[in-house]
Structures are given as C-alpha cells and as structure tokens.
Structure 1
Amino acid sequence: MGMKLSHFNFELPKELLAEYPSEHRDEARLMVLNRKDQTIEHKKFKDIIDYFDPEDVMVLNNTKVFPARLYGNKEKTGARIEVFLLRELNPETKLWDVLVDPARKIRIGNKLYFGEDESLVAEVIDNTTSRGRTLRFLYDGSYSDFRKKLKELGQTPLPKYIKRDVEPEDEERYQTIYAKNEGAVAAPTAGLHFSKHLLKRLEIKGVDFAEVTLHVGLGTFSPVEVEDLSKHKMDSEEAFITKDATDVINKAKAEKRKVCAVGTTVMRVLESSVSSNQTLNEFSGWTNKFIFPPYDFNIANCMITNFHTPKSTLLMMISAFAGHDFMKKAYEEAVKEKYRFYTYGDAMLIL
C-alpha cells in the first residue's frame, strides 16, 4: 500500500508556529536541501540568489488573497457570526459559497447583517456541508460597489492557528508583492519571502520569471483523515497557465536549466497540465491534484516551500519531491534549530 498517513507525523513544538512574519521579507531563514549530495545548509532567504544562474526560471503564483473573513449579526438574536467567503458562485445574483461559525445556529432562510450600519445583508439559501452554506447577498448598488463593500467589511483571512487579532501590517504581509489576480482565500506562502529588492537582484542576475495562477482554497489546509493516502480527495481549486508561461518554462526545460516552483501551489498547477512528452500545456480550469510519494515530477526540478505541519498534504508533496527519508532528517534538523513553521514561518529551497 505504500506511504501511510502515519509516515507524515512528527512532534512539532507549539512555540515553533510563527505568529508573526519576520521583520523583513527576505530576512527569514532558509534551509537549503541538495538532493544529489544529501546536504543541508542554513542560510537567509536573500541568499537564494547564489543558487540560481542566468536563464534559470522561477515560477510564481500570482493569485491575490481577498479579505474573506466577515463578521455579521444574525437577525432577531443579534448573535455574532463569522462568515468565511470561499468562492463566488455567480456575480449576477451575488451568490457565494461560505463557511459559517457557529454553524448550528445558521439555517436556510436566516438573514445576516454586516457592518455598523447593517448596509449589507445576506440570506442563507442552502446548506452545503456541516459548516458550509450558500449565501445570497442583497445589495442594490453596482457590482463594483458590492465588491468594494466586501473589501471594506472583510478582514485578511489569517489561518486559524494564529490566535492574535489581525493587525494593519497583516494586510500587506499576507500577500506576495507580485499578487495580481484576486481569488485566493489563503496566501501562497512560499512567495511571501520575496522582497522587491530581491526580485530586482534576481532579474539583474538574469533569472527569468513565469507566472501561473492557482486560487488557493481552504482545501489546502484540510486534514487528511484516511490512513490510506490513495483514498484522500483534494478540494478543487481554480488555476490558469498562459501561453507566455508555457513558452518560458518549456524553453528552460529544453535547455536543462533550473525550473523552480515557488510553492506547493505552483507545483500542483504545473503537474496538473503536463503533455504526453513531459512539456507544460496551457491550462484554464479546476485541479484537485494530490501529490504524495512515490511520484515522478515532470516540470520543476527545484522548489521553494515553507515548513509544513504534521500530516498535511503539503508535507506529503515535498516528501515526494525531496525523498521521504531526507525530508524526515531535514525536519528533525528544523525542529532542533528552531526554524519557524507554517504560514509566517521560514523557507526551504530544495535543489
């Protein structure tokens, strides 16, 4: 049966979960794993430039996080309800898939009011899962005014493990500096370490960039609850690969250069669109690709990623990429050296 869920468990001390980002984006720590030599080095993120040559390619996920967490009040009782916007189903009718908390109080037909002045109202029109609901927002203005309103009322959706309140700096730091296409409810965290200055230096060195889009959904964080990994189903996420991106990436591949996936989301979208001769195809659609060992990667030969939590699908993917035993060793070292884990944590470069 191959790898089991229990192969991806390890002791992660609570204090290693990063509550705040590093002071400067590119000053986070960087662990460098060399698969060929089986070596582990300890660096700063900005040292990443030393590992790339002209015409190597870094592939970035240019998705943009929208402020998906809203707080509303239930009609009549006034109970405070958290509404987490998952995805827009229909712009015309303002229908959204959402999660509600506490869910047991929210039934079909209920109305929720948002904002001090209650200027935004939503009606619950369907139950999708135990916590999932479909909401119809009742708003008279134009669509762009409606989206502006959501932005105004919404908060940066920091992951639940961060127990503190959202602070003004989170709005900027929980977004990559190259974020463009709005649609994610979670940031592609490996990319959070790039500063404008570092991107400029890489560009001057001659490193090429390609952008793809994968709108990260909450499914990325869904726990795996089956011991047999082949039975786990990933949620679908929307993804796009343009002709421009395939040209840059396929050329680098043909020339045996580095093609570096910046983040597990980039790796997933690249592996979701491989042609029969192992080149990258354009893509527009949904992917529920789940990568776990053993797996042969087709496009990227290098990746940047953060430090992931036990039993997560993200840890499974990087174990498939680095080799399970090597990854175990690297994670033991990371815990010992007190690297910071998860969204606002440190980074790893796997060569």
Structure 2
Amino acid sequence: MKQQLEQIRTHALSSIAGTRAAADLEALRVQYLGKKGELTAVLKQMGKLAAEERPIIGQLANDVRAAVEAAIEQQSALLERQALADRLEQETVDVTIPGTRQEVGHAHPMYQVLDEIKDIFIGMGFQILDGPEVEQSDYNFTRLNTPDDHPAREWSDTFYFDNGSKALLRTQTSPMQIRAMETVPLPIRVIVPGRVYRKDEVDATHSPMFHQIEGLVVDKGITMADLKGTLNTVIRAIYGENTVTRFRPHHFPFTEPSCEMDMQCHKCGGKGCPTCKGEGWIEVLGAGMVHPKVLSGCNVDPDVYSGFAFGMGLERLAMGRFKISDLRLIFENDMRFLKQF
C-alpha cells in the first residue's frame, strides 16, 4: 500500500505539472482526490492493515493528499497567470496606429444657404418668424387681395383638403404678411422661411414641395428703391459682388407695383443652358410694394405707411450658391451628392 501511495504521488504531480487548461486540472483533481478517486480507493483498504501499520500509512496518505492539493493550487495559479498574459497579448492595442475616422454629419446644402440668408437679414435688422403650413384660404388668398377667380385658387394649382374646404397647404409664405401685421408692432422688418406646396410638375427647377423665404418691411417712407437696394445687397452677399441681377415688371395681387428678380444663370453665365431653359437667367424671387388694400385690411393706414414684400425660392438660391444644375438632386438624399457639401 505504501508503494501504491508513492506511485499515486508521482503520477499525480507529473500529470498536474503537465496540464495546460483549467478543465484538465479539474479532471485530475477528481481522478486523484474525488470520492471515487485513486487516493480514496487506497484509503478504503486501511482496514486490512495491521494496527501498527495504520498510523504510518495514514500519515503517508495525508502527505500524498496535501502534496496533490498543493500541486493543484500552484498549477491553478500558474494557469490563471498564463491565461491573463494570453488575453493581454490578444487584446493589446497599438496606440500608435491612427484610429478609425468617425464620419460627422453636416447641414444639408439648402439649409447651409438658409443659415447664410438668416445671418444676412438679421444683420440688416430683420426678425425671423414662423407660420403654419396648413393655412386658411382667407390668409393665403383673400386678405392678400387675390380675387376668387384667380388661377392660383383653382384645384389644379393648389392642394385643398376637400371640395369646398377653406383649409389648404399654403402655396406661399405670403400669408405671414397678414399675420405679421396683425401681431408685430410697427415698423415691421421680418422674414419667414418655410415649406410651401403647389401642383408643379417635377423638373430641373420645379417641385410640388419647395421652400420659400417671405420678407416684409412696413414703415414710413418705404419706396421701390429700398426694395431693390435690399434685394441686391442680399444677393450679392450670397453670390459675390459681381453677381448680375435684373428686375422685370410683373403682377401679384398683393403688391403694386410688382416685379420679379432674376439672376444670371450660374451654369452658363447667361449664354443659355438646360438649367435656365436657354434663357440665360434664373428667376429668383417675386417682389413689390405692399398693396394699399392689404395694408388697410390689417388696419395699417396706407396714407402714412408703405412697405415692400418679396418671396425667395430657397432651392433656387442653393442651386446658384453651389452651382447645382438640377433641383431634384436637393431632394433625392443621395449621399454621394450630399457629401460634396
């Protein structure tokens, strides 16, 4: 039995020293020290020994158990240190390698231009207002001196909510002229950016939903010269001092006299191309002096006060600012296009 115990000690210590995994070490513990292990099997034969041999063999068995347990504990600590070293080696980060660049978003090109325009007008003393996109026909048409038989009021031009409805998707931000004169103390200098809706066919310069910037100035002594000076200042601030503009006579129900402002085509320089439909000019905005009927309808005395109003197409301004040839690119959200800005 003494020889068996020595053999168990030798084999166990050798096997334990050769383990490379915690699972293998646990298997050896069970093999030698478990309830059905080799050392336990030997100790069960103690009853066959003579009385004088039992203490000697018992002491040897305890020594063997202690040696095996110590070897297991030592090897377990060694395996843990090795596992930690392996993990650290696998997870080592080379801090000298450049990190992965994180893409940062940016403002849409159209809103970049809008921010520029806001800054320009704020610098000129204007206030920025917002208004409802679902509007009443009274504000969108009637109080802007638009007669009932005007083509813009037809179902073919305007998005009404139902037949005979007085609610519609605003066709312009001009209704805010009325709302501003109702709520803002005189003198008034405001711009109103926002979405507007018209039944336009989609092409290189038109969309059924687009953005407009309405402007309104009401004060004593306002003239057409103030209108032209203000708009030329804004356009040249956006596109540069050499930008070429022109004003053409036009008609709007809510302004008198009325005009349209064109900018020389950024794509062809006035020679004619698909972007400007061969004309060499791109319409930028409509404008004019506020009609006396509109002023008096808002309890503003037209004999004392005068004013001008204008409506800019934000998409067309962005097209000119960034040399974009097709308005549809602004709405398609193609990242290849947007990343250029």
TM-score range, shorter chain: under 0.3
Give the TM-score normalised by the residue count of structure 1.
0.20
The higher relative CO (CA closer than 8 Å, separation ≥ 6) is in 1
Give the structure with higher Rg (CA).
2
Greater percentage in helix: 2
TM-score of the superposed pair, with normalisation by structure 2: 0.20
